[in-house]
Amino acid sequence: MDAVFSALADPTRRSLLDELFREDGQTLSALEKRFSMTRFGVMKHLKRLEEAGLVVTKRRGREKLHFLNHVPIRLVHDRWASQYSGNSVALLS
């Protein structure tokens, strides 16, 4: 889970995840056009997201498509975020 938190700590990587949420299954070229970064910059961030399990890459012919993997985010929510919501938040009001 540390790899997920580390990957999510970077605003550029969060923006990449937001972009894949908006339109899943994008190529590196498509993502590169949406960000003011070099191809290698996008590749570096995608690699960190893949290592954390947040992005899955699949080949389609000569293209590599990048997909958002919701599972690690859901695990973070279930393990951390959900336990701090609800009754705990109500006590603060």
The pTM of the full predicted model, rounded to 2 decimals, is 0.83
Confidence of residue 81 (pLDDT cuts 50, 70, 90): confident
Where do runs of H (alpha helix) occur along 10-63?
A: 11-22, 28-34, 39-51
* Count: domains in the chain: 1
Confidence of residue 76 (pLDDT cuts 50, 70, 90): confident
Q: What is the pLDDT of residue 78?
A: 82
Domain-embedded: residue 84: no
Q: What is the CATH number of the domain that holds 27?
A: 1.10.10.10
pLDDT (tens digit per residue) in 10-38 = 999 999 999 999 999 999 999 999 998 99
Beta-bridge partners for 68: 55
Domain-embedded: residue 38: yes
Please, what's the b/e burial string for 27-51 (b: 16 or more CB within 10 A of its CB; e: otherwise)?
ebeebbeeeeeeeeebeebbebbee
> Higher confidence at residue 93 or residue 74?
74
Centre a 10 Å sphere on the Cβ of residue 75 and count the other Cβ atoms it contains: 13
